Amino acid sequence: MFDLDLWREIFQSINMNRTRSLLSGFTVAFAILLFTILFGIANGLQNTFTEAFGTDANNSIVIFPGRTTKAYKGLQAGRRIQFKNEDYDYIKEEFGDKVQFITSKVMKNVTASFRGEQNNYTIRAVHPDYMFIENNKIKEGRYINQSDIDNRTKIVVIGKVVDEDLFSKTTAVDKYINLSGIQYKVVGVFTDDEGYNEENVIYMPLSTAQLVYGNTDYIDFMHLTYNPEMDTDQALAFGNLLTKKFKKRFDVAKTDQRAIRVRNMAAGTKAVSQMTFGLGIIILVIGFGTLIAGIVGISNIMIFIVKERTKEIGIRKALGASPRSIVSIILIESILITAIAGYIGLLVGVGVIELAGPILEEYFIKDPGISNSLVIGATITLIAAGTLAGYLPAKKASRIKPIVALRND
């Protein structure tokens, strides 16, 4: 029930002790301000890291072949490792349950032309899974599918930049494009959130490229994503297992670091999540430390207020005030000061973060922001803090015996 008279009593009391209320509120406001700014900065740092990893699937593993640097099993150092389709099949068979998407990749540079427009591009010959690994979105038409792979169809899917370069006057889908002398049908246009470099490429079915460029079953490298249900440690273990198996498969010395290279995003993800976690803990500790200091400050002042108002509380009790009404006066006053001061701190903190945002971006802090859930959480914390700060003094006040209170004049 909203008790207007109770609030009147409380505002009268706060008003009576304006300086004191202001000072005690300042501690809490400052604590929340500090907490907000720290939290915003941590958020910004996290955003920077997340962005550094791009929009590619962040559970990806890339396996590159290289040259051996050590002689092993009678084979000389300097031998070139060549991946083939059978290696791709091997991963699918051996680790099917650990792999989410997988593609082989062959890269070629070509000159593309269409009706007099001409430019140089990179071809990426891939499997259909590649779309999910790269997080591409189809703008028009379709993507490479399994039947393209099976039939070695001469089709391509082009990036948005290629589309804009060559097909400025018409739509690209269903047109034939000339890639270094061979005609391919454009079946789709894709976009990629990472922008120009990722949209300035042409995708082709892997089998088509293998047929056209030398009729081999060679693969430049393989790109896969691990099962997202695996945690970071499991993913790291999987990466190590892949390395080991491939070294064995290609008769590479265990200590040879160059012949088979496995780039596992899980390592980076783990480092970032550990760092973010550590940062979060530090901020929580600092934030809560300041908040506790604020609570102790308010609690102290409330105890002082109760002491000072002992006589008044005695009078009220003599006039028929119940212990509960005494508790609520002290408690609500404490909550009110804490909540209002805390909110001012929060608002100022958000304001500072908003204003300083563009400047902070130079220092690897991107979009420092405070989420709604944090604001709600802070509100609950503030009310809880005020209750905590006011509880002991309020309890103390309610135990005041009117006779004792009235005697001390």
Q: Name the residue nearer to another protein (CB basis): 292 or 318.
A: 318
CA distance linking residue 53 with residue 272, whole number of Å: 10
Amino acid identity of residue 86, one-letter, is E
**In the structure encoding, which two tokens stand for residue 380, read together?**
């609950």
Q: Name the residue nearer to another protein (CB basis): 4 or 359.
A: 4
The answer to whether residues 191 and 203 touch, using CB atoms and an 8 Å cutoff, is: no
**In the structure encoding, which two tokens stand for residue 13, read together?**
């009391």
The total number of residues shown for the chain amounts to: 409
What's the closest the beta carbon of residue 376 comes to another protein, in angstroms? 35
- Interface residues with another protein (CB under 8 A) are 4-5, 12-13, 16, 311-312, 314-325, 398, 401-403, 406, 409
Q: Name the residue nearer to another protein (CB basis): 141 or 323.
A: 323
What's the closest the beta carbon of residue 409 comes to another protein, in angstroms? 5
What's the closest the beta carbon of residue 16 comes to another protein, in angstroms? 5
CA distance linking residue 11 with residue 17, whole number of Å: 10
Q: Which residues pair with 118 in a beta bridge?
A: 113
**In the structure encoding, which two tokens stand for residue 373, read together?**
């859930």
Q: Name the residue nearer to another protein (CB basis): 242 or 313.
A: 313
What are the start-end ranges of the E strands in 78-168? 83-84, 99-114, 117-126, 137-141, 155-159
Q: Coil, strand, or helix at residue 150?
A: helix
What's the closest the beta carbon of residue 399 comes to another protein, in angstroms? 9
What's the closest the beta carbon of residue 18 comes to another protein, in angstroms? 12
What are the start-end ranges of the E strands in 115-231? 117-126, 137-141, 155-159, 176-179, 182-191, 201-205, 218-219, 221-226
What's the closest the beta carbon of residue 298 comes to another protein, in angstroms? 21
Q: Name the residue nearer to another protein (CB basis): 301 or 365.
A: 301
Q: Name the residue nearer to another protein (CB basis): 128 or 393.
A: 393
Minimal CA–CA distance to 405: which of 331, 311, 266, 292?
311
The answer to whether residues 179 and 202 touch, using CB atoms and an 8 Å cutoff, is: yes
What's the closest the beta carbon of residue 281 comes to another protein, in angstroms? 45
Q: Name the residue nearer to another protein (CB basis): 2 or 109.
A: 2
CA distance linking residue 349 with residue 41, whole number of Å: 11
